[in-house]
A and B are shown apart, each in its own frame.
Chain A
């Protein structure tokens, strides 16, 4: 059985790197030795330098071209990958007629998301919590818990919004009464126009970033 290649060979980069450099006979000075061998010959000296310059120049050309190409290809690739749709305009969604909503009752209303595309399927629909406070005024809440964004559920009996994920609890005014959330439920703008109740919904109030 032949002995295994030594670690020295491996450490010197032998296995994956370049083979060990050939010892340069009588010429330990590397590049400078060309001059030494050439002696007084000025022609050879300039040739060597020109070779050196040309190698470097070609190296620059090669790396430069590759870098240029990568940048050129990269602009549309990175651009498309990180494109977010132009900030969608907030739209007033009609969620029902005023008389559909009994006073003092918190109800769920649904609307179609502004970013919906024809293939959005179930992702196109969003919801909000709405309460009619008196004859003409309404108050609406985003359904996303201000902790990490789970859906809060209105429990009419307890008269509380409860989040199932980490036990956040809000009262009917959206104020935190228990659990980890630190800010009240995000309020959505509501208006009444021509007998219709309309909600101005921003899609996802990313926590802590978008005060209403």
Chain B
């Protein structure tokens, strides 16, 4: 035993181990290190571990990635199909990024829920908010680096958003594109952002964030009726942790290490079984039939700007996100003291529920994206409709060819943006249907100048009868 202890003691002494871990060696509120409530304090470590994993897998990817618009796509293909474990590494980077986004959001929600951003931890929160946005910045720029059809259009859309910012929009847009269009420098600049600038900023801010956590101590669980008073808070906190004598090191850290390990295990396992995000087609800005798909963490926003009420463009595209960003940043400065317990902050909790609910709802809607026209839809055939009536079949053909079917379903065939028209004859008469087609309404374009009178008649006949007919599959 002594034989083993000696080298350990040697290393500990020469490394100054006691001093090295000193920032961890302090008393913490007992509820953060034991009991059920300690599990509310683990998410930061999950983020830290997934961040370290991102750096590692990112470095591995960088050994083969070529940040040139000519070759980037092929080098990603090379990584995916040729490099040993390359597809797994790509998957780890992709799923790790997703995990980081999810964990950062959960972490922020927990801190908001317990109002841990209040005095004296204002800068813990502010640095965390900046880290949240940097995480999203990493996710967005990473999407571009795939340099497939989705990635290329992502930057185009991003530039268009930036272009809407008042006064400086055009300059930001030009910065995002590194020029006036997606060009030679767009990819290299984004590469530098994703690989150097943003990660360095994150490492520095994570350092500050962790320093502040140890400096101010982990926030205790809030108690209802015990508001934060800057006059007495530090004194009370200190008396509280001294009374319980629960050192953070090492008792308080085991479950966080456990959780961090669990996060990495899940990421690697999922990566192994699910594989990386499929590459879209090779980038081609002249392929105008492409339907760019944003990555999932931004889909909620796509949904928001699709289903928002008509008009109010600038509000939804610029002022709302910008306002939300600023609100989060200055939150501890406008609500730095007072009650922390959720039961005493009904409006804060209501606000959080609304934002979280909207995020999930919009993400679900956005992933279905019913507003995307269905170009792939096939015309209904005679055998499906179970009829040989020439005019009905002609109507079905017009319904498909003139694009009605991009947005309207009949018998489960077609897009989902407009109402399902299978049973339209039970809701509207022939006259009404004809007027609706010719004049349009809301998001339905007027087909007056597009369709001939004969075609309108065919469509009306088809829609009147289609309810009675049916796809063979239903019989």
Contacts and interface: CB of A to CB of B under 8 A. Distances in A.
Interface of A: 3-8, 10-11, 15-16, 82, 84-85, 87-88, 108, 110, 113, 115-117, 119-127, 143-144, 147-155, 157-160, 162, 164-167, 169, 171, 177-180, 182, 202-204, 206-210
A47 to B, nearest CB: 39
Contact of A149 (B159, B242, B450): B159
Interface size class of B (residues with CB under 8 A): 35 or more
Interface in B281-331: 282-292, 302, 305-306, 308, 310-311, 313, 317
Contacts of A182: 311, 313
Given A150-B292, A152-B288, A204-B177, A123 B186 contact: yes
Interface string B158-187: 011111100001100111011111111111
A186 to B, nearest CB: 12
A146 to B, nearest CB: 9
B443 A166 contact: no
Contact of A178 (B152, B217, B234, B443): B443
A210 B3 CA distance: 77
A119 B69 contact: yes
A146 B450 CA distance: 23
Given A122-B69, A169-B445, A7 B238 contact: yes
B313 A88 contact: no
A5 B26 contact: yes
Nearest to B316: A180
Contacts of B112: none
Interface of B: 22-23, 25-27, 68-71, 73, 152-153, 156-157, 159-164, 169-170, 173-175, 177-187, 211, 215, 217, 234, 237-238, 241-242, 245, 247, 282-292, 302, 305-306, 308, 310-311, 313, 317, 371-373, 375, 401-404, 406, 417, 440, 442-446, 449-450
Contacts of A162: 373, 403, 406
Contacts, number: 220
A206 B159 contact: yes
A171 B445 CA distance: 8
A144 B156 contact: yes
Nearest to A181: B313
Contacts of A121: 68-71
Contacts of A206: 159-160, 162-163, 169-170, 173
A210 B169 CA distance: 11
13 contacts: A4-B27, A5-B25, A7-B238, A124-B183, A125-B284, A150-B153, A157-B403, A158-B402, A164-B291, A164-B373, A180-B308, A202-B180, A209-B169
A88 B443 CA distance: 38
Given A4-B27, A11-B234, A84-B175, A166 B163 contact: no
Given A119-B68, A123-B285, A144-B160, A160 B245 contact: no
Provide the main secondary structure of the chain A interface.
loop
B406 to A, nearest CB: 7
